Chains A and B, each alone.
Chain A
Amino acid sequence: MSQAIENTAPVAVIRPGGVLARSLVGGLLTSLPVLVVGLLILNFAPTYYTFLALGAFVNLIVVVGLQVFMGNSNIANLGHSAFVGLGAYGVAILSTPLAMKKLSIPNAPFGFATLELDPVSSALLALLAVGILALVSGKVISRLSGVAATIVSLALLIIVHSVFLNWTDLFKGNQAFFGIPKVVGLPWMMVMSVVVIVLARLFKDSRWGLQLRASAQSPQAAAALGIDARRLRLMSWVLSALICGLAGVLYAYFAGTISPKLFYFQMIFMTLAMLILGGMATVTGAVTGVIALSVGLEFIRSIESGVTIAGIQLPQLLGLSGVALGVVIVLCMAFRPSGISGRYELDELLSRFFRRTQ
């Protein structure tokens, strides 16, 4: 503990502008590996891998969004894929061409059946909807203590999922919603990932982020210093939801087809495991976890679908990737609760490393 104070102390004496620049540079540094991987895939990889990479980038944005709330407030959030789903369905409903809508949602209420907006304004409106839902749910969640907040975040997921499933006129229910314009490719996805990573880092290092992290460590001491933890929790909840919503928007724009089950427990399991493996205290952790688990899961999926090893055909092993995700979570929690990256961001690690070698 005393070590942590010692290491963060120099940051406090740097003038305010310096802190901003420092976390900006730190955020960019953290997103560097993501950019490198993205550029490599963009230039060299076959189409199949590009598609996988797009999925991984969506996961990356979701995990960074999750980190904004979980990492700073230290409250487990198990409902974030509701916001991803709302973002995706928002743009699906607003931007799908009218000819497609006649097939998919001819009876949509509020004139949505005869509405077709351009992708950018659809995205903005979808994010607005996500923001409103986040504000309303955040009002409740920020008032509750840790465990109750987690359960309510789960309840939110179930509410939203059940609305997707049952409001068939608007969301098409259990069937896939198709015909969304495919306007997002890998370059856009990379730009958005970098923006989101920098944003998460800036929030973490901002006054609000620092105060929120302080109140998560010691509510009593933080309250004594006049920190309004509820307001800060609400703030990080909304920011986290908007980032997750953005991930949903991007997913819809690259896949062109969405269905409710994409945004349910499967996504929660996967993104949560990624964040825990990487380490939820830092943005670097979020990035590390996504890279490590995306690669690992792809490997496991290839075994899961039944492979031939040394001439022996293995049977299909449905559920293997789920077991692996769960094992990752359990082992991480038992042996390294702070994840791979621990307490320090990438730039902090590097500067510590160079200081030591000097």
Chain B
Amino acid sequence: MDYALQQLLNALAFGAEYSLVALGLAVVFSIMGLVNFAHGEIIGVSAYSVFLAAALGLTSPIVAVLLAIAAAALAAIAFERVAFRPVRYAPTTTGLLTAFGVSIVVQNLFMLLISPKPQSVSILNGLNQMWFFGPFAVSSLQVMELVVSGLTILALVLFLNRSTLGLAIRAASRDFATVRLMGIRANRVIATAFAISGALAGIAAVFIIARRGSVSPDLGFSLVLKAFVACVIGGFGSLPGAAVGGMLLGFIEVGLLVALPQEYGGFKDALTYVIIVALLVYRPEGLLGQRVELGDKEI
């Protein structure tokens, strides 16, 4: 029982993290059709700013958390301004390849300017403790991941549904031209979307640093690949789809960890992707995506 509960918590925590990152990707994609491969490097910038701040003498974990989120949001806005604005109206493939290029540049800049080797950061290790609830021992980090992700998603939903800018963002994902005709600035909508996406990545970065206690140039890359896969299962561009896809991915991974014998543990990632590709054979448009026939009118 204890073991089952522990694994359930594991799956929820992994899933929550994937959902956070996948949501960040989906917010940007739904508005401007950009497949943001550089999302992992936003996480990277956030993590390296915490590393640098700690190296310069920052000791307060709360400030470090705030710094991580702010740095990620700023990095996202900066990427948009520098790299993605010139390709805003270009075809999807152009944007995708641009983002891929940005991701390579930033990853290699970390290598070039800091170090190709992982650097230790201990400032957020305090988040990762064991909590005891009667007979149960749970990792504080996993509980926090679950709670914080839940709250963040709730806040995002409220923002998108209640605020004018949120409404504009949702409307822009349907028809950007009309939103601009209503007197809303395109740049502001897109910058807000990137800031949200960055802040979500920053929260993920906090958890990554707390769990690993170190930063490395490719730290966000594999996580973002998984988040992409989560988006694809959920239906690309759909926000609920991203959240559901992330959770599902967490459950598949932990399920495989439990089911696979120890010596085959290395095949976990491969099998996860195989299962997902198999899912896509049956639902090419994703679980919550809509089957769009050619020539359908946007509703």
Q: Is the CB of A159 within 8 A of B273?
A: yes
Q: Is the CB of B100 within 8 A of A166?
A: no
At the interface, yes or no: A97 with Cβ under 8 Å from chain B?
no
Chain B contacts of A74 at CB under 8 A? 91, 93
Selected from A143, A146, A147, A326, the residue in CB contact (under 8 A) with B104 is A326
Stretch at the interface among B68-76, B135-143, B164-172, B276-284: B276-284
Q: Is the CB of B105 within 8 A of A158?
A: no
At the interface, yes or no: A272 with Cβ under 8 Å from chain B?
yes
Q: Is the CB of A166 within 8 A of B267?
A: yes
Residues of chain B whose beta carbon lies under 8 Å from any beta carbon of chain A: 29, 35, 83, 86-87, 90-98, 100-112, 116, 217, 225, 228-229, 231-232, 236, 264, 266-267, 269-270, 273-274, 276-277, 280-281, 284-286, 294-295
Binary interface encoding of chain A residues 150-188 relative to chain B, with 1 for a CB under 8 A from any of its CBs, else 0: 111011101100110110000000000000000000000
Report Cα–Cα, A74/B105, bound state, in Å.
Answer: 24
Tell me the minimal C-beta distance from A314 to chain B in angstroms: 12
Q: Is the CB of A334 within 8 A of B87?
A: yes
Q: Is the CB of A326 within 8 A of B101?
A: yes
Q: Is the CB of B274 within 8 A of A159?
A: yes
Q: Is the CB of A76 within 8 A of B269?
A: no
Q: Is the CB of A329 within 8 A of B270?
A: no
Report Cα–Cα, A328/B225, bound state, in Å.
Answer: 23
Chain B contacts of A334 at CB under 8 A? 83, 86-87, 98
Selected from A148, A320, A335, A337, the residue in CB contact (under 8 A) with B280 is A148
Chain A contacts of B106 at CB under 8 A? 326
Chain A interface residue count, Cβ-Cβ cutoff 8 angstroms: 49
Q: A147-B92, A326-B105 are in contact. Are A272 and B100 (CB under 8 A)?
A: yes
Q: Is the CB of B97 within 8 A of A76?
A: yes
Report Cα–Cα, A325/B102, bound state, in Å.
Answer: 10
Binary interface encoding of chain A residues 48-88 relative to chain B, with 1 for a CB under 8 A from any of its CBs, else 0: 00000000000000000000000000111010000000000
Selected from A152, A162, A327, the residue in CB contact (under 8 A) with B277 is A152
Chain A contacts of B109 at CB under 8 A? 319, 323
List of 6 A-B pairs having minimum Cβ-Cβ separation, nearest first: A329-B101, A322-B108, A319-B111, A326-B105, A326-B104, A166-B266
Interface of B is mostly: helix
Q: Is the CB of A152 within 8 A of B232?
A: yes
Tell me the minimal C-beta distance from A212 to chain B in angstroms: 15
At the interface, yes or no: A220 with Cβ under 8 Å from chain B?
yes
Tell me the minimal C-beta distance from B5 to chain A in angstroms: 29
Chain B contacts of A147 at CB under 8 A? 29, 35, 92, 96, 232, 236
Q: A323-B105, A326-B101, A329-B97 are in contact. Are A145 and B273 (CB under 8 A)?
A: no
Q: Is the CB of B104 within 8 A of A322?
A: yes
**Given A151-B228, A329-B101, 13 new contacts (CB under 8 A):** A137-B277, A148-B232, A154-B225, A155-B225, A155-B273, A158-B269, A163-B267, A166-B266, A272-B97, A319-B108, A323-B104, A326-B102, A326-B106
Chain A contacts of B108 at CB under 8 A? 319-323, 326
At the interface, yes or no: A144 with Cβ under 8 Å from chain B?
yes
Q: Is the CB of B98 within 8 A of A330?
A: yes
Q: A144-B284, A166-B267 are in contact. Are A326 and B35 (CB under 8 A)?
A: no
At the interface, yes or no: A299 with Cβ under 8 Å from chain B?
no
**Chain A CB within 10 Å, residue with most, of B100, B231, B276:** B100
Chain B contacts of A144 at CB under 8 A? 280, 284
Q: Is the CB of B269 within 8 A of A223?
A: no
At the interface, yes or no: A191 with Cβ under 8 Å from chain B?
no
At the interface, yes or no: A317 with Cβ under 8 Å from chain B?
yes
Q: Is the CB of B294 within 8 A of A330?
A: no
Closest residue on chain B to residue A338 by CB atoms:
B94
What are 5 A-to-B residue pairs whose CB atoms are below 8 Å? A76-B96, A163-B270, A323-B104, A334-B86, A334-B98
Q: Is the CB of A319 within 8 A of B100?
A: no
Chain A contacts of B105 at CB under 8 A? 322-323, 326-327, 330
Q: Is the CB of A151 within 8 A of B101?
A: no
Closest residue on chain A to residue B90 by CB atoms:
A337
Q: Is the CB of A155 within 8 A of B111?
A: no
Tell me the minimal C-beta distance from A296 to chain B in angstroms: 15
Binary interface encoding of chain A residues 256-276 relative to chain B, with 1 for a CB under 8 A from any of its CBs, else 0: 000000000000010011001
Report Cα–Cα, A75/B83, bound state, in Å.
Answer: 21
**Chain A CB within 10 Å, residue with most, of B105, B285, B286:** B105
